[in-house]
Amino acid sequence: MWVPPREVEWQWELDHSLCNASGDQTPTQTAKLIASTVADLARYTSCSADLGITSGSSPVMAVDGAVSPATNPKVYDIDGFDNTGTDNGDEAQSLGSSDSPVVAELHSLGDHVICYVDVGTAENWRPDYSEFKGSTLNAVQGWPGEFWISLAPDHLGEVEKIMTKRFEMCRDNHFDAVEPDNMDSSENGTANSQAEQLRYDEWVADEVHRLGMSVAQKNFEDESATLSRYFDFVIEEQCYQYADCLDLAPYYRAERTVLEVEYQGDGTSRSWFVKACTAGVNGQHGADKLGLDSVYLSTNLDGSLRVPCR
């Protein structure tokens, strides 16, 4: 079972299919475009930005690499639904798909691929949305069409069946790991208790492992002491902005991987991120000292910006 190593370059791409923002290409066409882009970065600037190799026509520069471009990412965290199926824009076929050409192409380049799926909310644009039936709770603030899922005992069995199908989609398309998003609903104003949430999260980790993939703890920092017994690594958002990095100590003190992202356009700046990488901010040690694999991205997650610490 593959687990991302520490000090690895990574790219997070969630707002559209990788190298297929318009959604009008088949997976095979997208895979060919990725191969062509790697061979000629200057010709295919949009895809090369998605791949995190360039930003427009300029090389992506690491914080401590003022002369050399940052290393080509070796780990890609991409949406499971968007990058599978008969067409990257046709999510209805995703759950029954297998052998994603996009994942296969990234593997052929020597990269590994993490499958982003939501385990804590029901999104009305997903093909299995109707299966949640009466198990949805209040809406997610700021995200139209997305609703928290109930983890109460009378709903849990059906929710777990839905999630197993999603994890099987990741496995059948040969993703290496799973990013289970929104696994912290108990801390977001829902009726789910902390005990219900932790039991469910432990099930998520066990189920992904049963299917042969590694799994990330997504955020939920203050439960790291408990969850680190089940999860293999961390994908963390904004622990410097919100001073949460110290809560991840069970991972980085054990020299386990923490993939961490901060956002431009959310009250931060590039100079602030440089300090987060080196000296640290908000009472947190620098990412270089803690061994966090931090990267600075646009809030839009559109491939337009990528600045890694290393």
What are 271-289's pLDDT values in tens digits? 999 999 999 999 999 999 9
Mean pLDDT of 76-99: 87
Tell me the C-alpha distance between 230 and 206, whole Å: 7
pLDDT value, residue 63: 80
* 205 has a pLDDT exceeding 50: yes
* 250 has a pLDDT exceeding 80: yes
| Domain annotation covers residue 248 | yes
Residue 15: pLDDT band (50, 70, 90) is confident
pLDDT value, residue 67: 45
pLDDT value, residue 131: 94
How confident is the model over 110-141, as pLDDT tens digits?
999 999 999 999 999 999 999 998 888 888 88
Tell me the C-alpha distance between 48 and 56, whole Å: 8
| Domain annotation covers residue 265 | yes
| Domain annotation covers residue 53 | yes
* 221 has a pLDDT exceeding 60: yes
Total of domains in the chain? 1
Percent of the chain clearing pLDDT 90 (strictly above) = 74
| Domain annotation covers residue 5 | no
| Domain annotation covers residue 2 | no
Mean of pLDDT over the chain: 92
| CA-based end-to-end distance of the chain | 26
Residue 55: pLDDT band (50, 70, 90) is low
pTM for the predicted model, two decimal places: 0.95
Mean pLDDT of 38-54: 89
Report the CATH number at residue 276. 3.20.20.70
pLDDT value, residue 68: 56
Tokens of 150: 């109930």
* 105 has a pLDDT exceeding 50: yes
| Domain annotation covers residue 41 | yes
| Domain annotation covers residue 196 | yes
Residue numbers of the domain that contains 215: 10-308
Tokens of 225: 């002491």
* Exposure b/e, 152-164, CB count within 10 A at least 16 = b: eeebbebbbebbb
Tell me the C-alpha distance between 161 and 300, whole Å: 32
pLDDT value, residue 178: 98
* 91 has a pLDDT exceeding 80: no
| Domain annotation covers residue 268 | yes
Percent of the chain clearing pLDDT 70 (strictly above) = 95
pLDDT value, residue 242: 96
For the ranges 151-155, 208-212, 219-223, 298-302, the lowest mean pLDDT is seen at 298-302
